[in-house]
Structure 1
């Protein structure tokens, strides 16, 4: 029978304290570090005596000493518990100042890496104006629909579907819904064995980076570009080459020969938000054939167009099988659900499935089943129409506010999405701007993080998906005031 009581480390072989006091020190340290649940009993005298190889009387004496010190309480027929007043105090202290732990030297050392971490604070949603990207407005999430799908998925009849081992396979229901309700809206028609479900697009990119790293050929990326892709490919061991962009997106003629993959975000270039023209897409596809590389198309926010129709996906117009399509539900449903997908030639998907199996076997089946129902019962279509309408309103409000208050900065032309990219004149330091604005309750994404060498500090990004329409202009005014000071 599995034990549900805590286990403690052995007592030190040499100590100046008596056995009773050593046990008191051991338990009080666990209480201080909040390692003991306040609603679960400590081991019985017999259990702890066996754990520590001491007598039951010694443990009994230690427990009673801790009761006298008001660290523990004894409950008839239940055992010893952390005293309620101690638990409450520790929780309050933890919320106020964070836990302090005994410093222990790491037994290994790591060399500095060149990965780009996410620099936003964990409590970003506590700021009055969090203009940061990749966040959704929780008020727009269809809680009732999600609850209904969860209830159905958790039903006894559905339990065998998600409770058993799926080996390395995906939910057939989810694959079907992706094909019928999402991919076909982007002009993509794929068989089941040409689709792989992932833990978001970040996981998809790391899987692709892993299976192509063995070729030894470099990967070309937009510069500036998505640092998540940069991290994924670097961690997989690939050499990276930055390729310049312009008002049409990545420049095909600037892609050097010898690349295995080219990563691009044609619907809304990440982070400048420019949309790749049809002519540029055709040029890139022709370059893929002439220079013998594959294209990874990250089609994020393709649905979020407010001044023009969405452009067709590159995979839908490609006839050579050279486009690997990556998508996710993070922007349309929730980033916390962590579901994405890859659409590619079945040989690529076969290798990717093996790599994914090594990493995590498969994404949680229960989540896949819930999302499949979310599509099947019409909640996704309804939710997508709602957020498109809401984000359309916010985009236009933000566009007006930027035109009115930040006209002194250069702004790239975009057709939609949930962010704007602004650039200052030579000498302008947007990274310093981000630091100053944080002190005023405003969060922005600093632009230098998106450059391969982090060598351009003039730009910054403003995401507006989380900020209500009523607060957009006020937030932009605060930004404009600080920009004017710096200029």
Structure 2
């Protein structure tokens, strides 16, 4: 019985998988979609190797991997066939699908939640110029170092450390590394019971919002500000009050009376990238004592400073325990790792730990152990130096491109970070600009989404961490053409 090579089997144009795994993905997907006949042999290793332009050994390894996964069976002198059990299960699934009723309407209606979703397309990284926030260049990630740490963490000697439940504690190794390699650089001394590991800063903010929501007092936030914090506090049931900012950051004199929490991003104000002056930080600390509120300091992109030294953290200046420090490893390691932390008075951490346990028990301990090794073996420090150097180059290239092509717009003064904030004259439609640019392969962040009442549409944000430095000016030139057309 001869096989006919299915010409629809094609390797993806872009894939991070090895060639063997790409072949596994393509063949298994064809099996799951019932596109391969169970009674006919698959193409021989030689035939499929010629079709894909790979070696016969690669196809042989892929077929044997699919045999191990029970997608295929190997028959002596006949070749490889779809596993009959797999074919039977697919037929049963198809029959069940045919019997399923159509989609049913939801039995309850939901009021508007007033939350701000992430609006970027799912395939944002397929766009030529994705100038959007919170993305990192994957080419800068130290894969070999991460692989080494993962291998060590998965060893049998260390398995008991991460295999058990740990609701009441976090990785002691990670806590120690954070104290020694992150917090002390920011001038912060904290005991082990004053630190809580979270699933990124977003999770940290929701935990804090939840444990303080019972007070019934409003939460004050920068306006414009981080919509993730806005969402977290709204989900927790808090009333929100916007506080304006200027070239020095949040304005303490504009704080509302009787607020319980004040959320601020002093290192690089989110989204304008303004750095809060030391004088303004002391004013805010004094106001916290005088008006009896707590400050949540999100130390956003504190490491990314290119034209000035990093300002001291507010937590390091705090003498009364009123500052709750929130940090994340999303920018310095990877957003996909989803690890952050809270540093606060031990009584706050104790309540936060209980709330975290109710929400999701604890962040994956294996990830904590891998990250602890990543710090301990020096990979983090080397990686941080590398991305600081690379992002500094991009920041200066972006600064020059904006000066050259978008000088007609107002740009906030910035000392670093991975984005720029631009504002057009009155009457400008930033949402229309975003829509027009998307059709040309350029993604930007709409400024209106950062305002508490979505009432300012003149601004937009350009993040450059993912865009290669050689493409920055071309992308900015496209933006400038559309801005000029809209202002015409």
Measured against the shorter chain, the TM-score band is 0.7 to 0.9
How many residues end up aligned between the 2 structures? 413
The within-5 A match list for 1:87-106 is: 102-106=102-106
What secondary structure does 1:81 align onto? Answer: helix
> Measured at CA, do residues 83 and 132 of structure 1 come closer, stay the same or move farther in structure 2, by a change above 3 Å?
farther
Quick one: distance in 2 between partners of 1:341 and 1:387?
21
Deviation for aligned residue 1:165:
1.5
Counterpart position of 1:186: 186
Quick one: distance in 2 between partners of 1:36 and 1:290?
70
| Runs of 4+ in structure 1 over 2 Å off | 34-40, 73-84, 101-104
Counterpart position of 2:450: 450
Q: 1:82 aligns with which of 54, 79, 87?
A: 87
Deviation for aligned residue 1:222:
0.2
1:270-289: CA deviations, max 9, x gaps? 00000000100000000111
The within-5 A match list for 1:127-166 is: 127-166=127-166
> Measured at CA, do residues 485 and 37 of structure 1 come closer, stay the same or move farther in structure 2, by a change above 3 Å?
same
Quick one: distance in 1 between partners of 2:34 and 2:323?
52
Quick one: distance in 2 between partners of 1:315 and 1:387?
25
Quick one: distance in 2 between partners of 1:477 and 1:272?
21
Deviation for aligned residue 1:37:
12
Normalising by structure 1, report the TM-score.
0.81
Deviation for aligned residue 1:107:
2.3
Deviation for aligned residue 1:35:
9.0
Counterpart position of 1:336: 336
Query: For structure 1, which runs of at least 5 residues remain unmatched after alignment?
Result: 1-30, 41-72, 91-100
Quick one: distance in 1 between partners of 2:457 and 2:165?
49
What secondary structure does 1:326 align onto? Answer: strand
Query: For the Cα contact (< 8 Å) 2:419–2:463, is it kept in 1?
Result: yes
What secondary structure does 2:456 align onto? Answer: coil
Quick one: distance in 2 between partners of 1:360 and 1:258?
32
Query: For the Cα contact (< 8 Å) 2:298–2:327, is it kept in 1?
Result: yes
Normalising by structure 2, report the TM-score.
0.81
> Measured at CA, do residues 74 and 379 of structure 1 come closer, stay the same or move farther in structure 2, by a change above 3 Å?
closer
Quick one: distance in 1 between partners of 2:36 and 2:195?
47
What secondary structure does 1:205 align onto? Answer: helix
> Measured at CA, do residues 175 and 74 of structure 1 come closer, stay the same or move farther in structure 2, by a change above 3 Å?
closer
Deviation for aligned residue 1:234:
0.2
Quick one: distance in 2 between partners of 1:269 and 1:251?
12
Query: For the Cα contact (< 8 Å) 1:38–1:82, is it kept in 2?
Result: no
Quick one: distance in 2 between partners of 1:304 and 1:282?
22
> Measured at CA, do residues 36 and 267 of structure 1 come closer, stay the same or move farther in structure 2, by a change above 3 Å?
farther
Quick one: distance in 2 between partners of 1:39 and 1:286?
75
Query: For the Cα contact (< 8 Å) 1:356–1:362, is it kept in 2?
Result: yes
Quick one: distance in 1 between partners of 2:361 and 2:141?
29
Query: For the Cα contact (< 8 Å) 1:266–1:276, is it kept in 2?
Result: yes
Counterpart position of 1:297: 297
Query: For structure 2, which runs of at least 5 residues remain unmatched after alignment?
Result: 1-28, 39-71, 76-80, 95-100
The within-5 A match list for 1:225-244 is: 225-244=225-244
What secondary structure does 2:215 align onto? Answer: coil
Query: For the Cα contact (< 8 Å) 2:269–2:300, is it kept in 1?
Result: no
What secondary structure does 1:214 align onto? Answer: helix
Quick one: distance in 1 between partners of 2:434 and 2:324?
35
